[in-house]
Structure 1
Amino acid sequence: MARTQRLFTLMQILRRHRYPVTAQVLAQELEISVRTLYRDIATLQAQGAHIEGEAGLGYVLRPDFVLPPLMFSQEEIEALVLGARWVGSHTDKPLGQAATDALAKIAAVLPAEARHLLDSTTLLIPARQQDDRWQAELRQAMRAERKVLVDYADAQGRASQRILWPFALGYFEQVRVVVAWCELRQDFRHFRVDRILSLQLQNDHFPQRRANLLAQWRAEHLHRPREVEQVRVDETGEDSQTGNG
């Protein structure tokens, strides 16, 4: 294995571990000597990687490290570009711009040859017209774990007002669906974003953490068979992902 590729692989291994990993374990996975491992750790630290630890105790990569100028494989570069282009074409403008900015930051630390691959990939995402209303506001509410007050219309145009705890946003091919706890129904519900008539961010926070809500929803809903690309409106007016039509 070339040294540049070995350094990149070492970074990937360290990213997988939240707690210190001994030099012996790292060296064994890379199939190198412990002495070589120590030299590689020192090289990465000199290039800006925040690797903490020492011989005999183990090493851990802190999350606020500066990305060293390491190589991505061609397929990894293609995946990054394709993902950024999809986000730019299928989400709201702030999220699309964030994807473009993230790609630019990655390009800034890539060697010239890898930057060329980044610019020349021919995996394309067709442009599409879409209504991106409320997506940025919903993502803000989810990050802050704050309730929202929405006016919502069902498929028949019947409007209702709800207090929601939004904790997930699904990007399906034709629609965007927010997954939330509905205070009116006292249950998890799925709402099509394009049917939200108005939305107001509230000062009240969720009584539970977003991660807990997501775990409960997964336990209750993900085992149920459904057509994930379709949504229907049930008799209560909420959107559900449990059928067609």
Structure 2
Amino acid sequence: MRRADRLFLIIHSLRGRRTAMPARRLAETLEVSLRTIYRDVADLQLSGVPIEGEAGVGYMLRKGADIPPLMFTEAELEALVVGTRFARAFAGSRLADGASAALAKIEAVLPPDLRERAAGTRIYAPFYKDDEREAHRHLIDLLHGAIGGRQVIAFDYSDKEGRPSHRAFEPLCLSFWGCAWTLGGWCRLRESFRNFRPDRMSGVVLTGELFTPAPGRDVAAYTDAMRGQFGGMD
């Protein structure tokens, strides 16, 4: 279980309780050690979540506390909704589904009035389905997976002048510029960092070869190179 999911479940388990929940019971429910529960609760307390209690006694939320409004302002919730809409419209299925699932978890514990206001934002990212769009989403998912799995990819590329080339590439990150995606990483043909637009790629395949980013060829070095080139990279 991811730590973010575990922290969410700790808060959810404590909501509405009139008596303290023993740390051991939380540990058994989440299938982690007592030490992990103690550390997670301490981190939640430091971040401002109003959890009362201590090790050996148990934990509960402070009486009258309503977690979502304390954790998120209306503007923050609107940003989450808008971000989910953009992910659904422009990202791959993996990110879109993940964003929607995360938002559903938040909405599940929101008071009705705050949930209604957050969902009522008038910033939209129109979403539609066609063969070209679905192929693009599939490609973004493939590239995203290659980045996470540190897998070398190969593809044919046509630059803005229409000149073709074949590349073996170590993918490090994806960037969205508002109108197009770019894939950044180490190009073995040019032996330097390069950015490629997925919509100009064809025949993208996973080669089966894994790579280990070396100093000077990792994402930190790539970011530094792009910061020098574009004046900013966040």
Q: Tell me if both proteins adopt one fold, taking TM over 0.5 as the criterion.
A: yes
Distance 1:108 1:221, change over 3 A: same
Please name the residue that 1:79 is paired with: 79
In 1: Cα distance, 2:181 partner to 2:79 partner: 23
In 2: Cα distance, 1:227 partner to 1:214 partner: 15
Please name the residue that 1:238 is paired with: none
Distance 1:108 1:218, change over 3 A: same
Please give the residue correspondences for 1:22-61 in structure 2 after superposition, counting only pairs within 5 Å: 40-42=51-53, 45-46=59-60
Residues matched between the structures, number: 180
Question: 224, 229, 232: which is aligned to 1:224?
Answer: 229
1:147–1:206: 8 Å Cα contact kept in structure 2?
A: yes
Question: 133, 136, 141: which is aligned to 2:141?
Answer: 136
Deviation string, structure 1 residues 108-151 (Cα, Å, up to 9, x no partner): 12222322223322232344785435111000001111111111
What amino acid sits opposite 2:206 in the alignment? Answer: L
Q: Secondary structure at the match of 1:184?
A: coil
In 2: Cα distance, 1:149 partner to 1:96 partner: 25
Query: Any runs of at least 4 consecutive aligned residues in structure 1 with deviations exceeding 3 A, and if so which?
Result: 43-47, 126-133, 209-212, 225-228
Please name the residue that 2:151 is paired with: 146
1:107–1:118: 8 Å Cα contact kept in structure 2?
A: no
Please name the residue that 1:114 is paired with: 114
1:133–1:194: 8 Å Cα contact kept in structure 2?
A: no
Query: What is the Cα deviation at residue 226 of structure 1?
Result: 6.5
Cα root mean square deviation, aligned: 3.6
Q: Percent identity?
A: 26
Please name the residue that 2:220 is paired with: 215
Please name the residue that 2:170 is paired with: 165
Deviation string, structure 1 residues 3-26 (Cα, Å, up to 9, x no partner): xxxx9xxxxxxxxx99x78x9xx6
In 2: Cα distance, 1:177 partner to 1:210 partner: 22
TM-score by length of structure 1 reads 0.61
Distance 1:190 1:128, change over 3 A: farther
Please name the residue that 1:197 is paired with: 202
What amino acid sits opposite 1:173 in the alignment? Answer: G
TM-score by length of structure 2 reads 0.64
Distance 1:211 1:188, change over 3 A: closer
2:186–2:217: 8 Å Cα contact kept in structure 1?
A: no
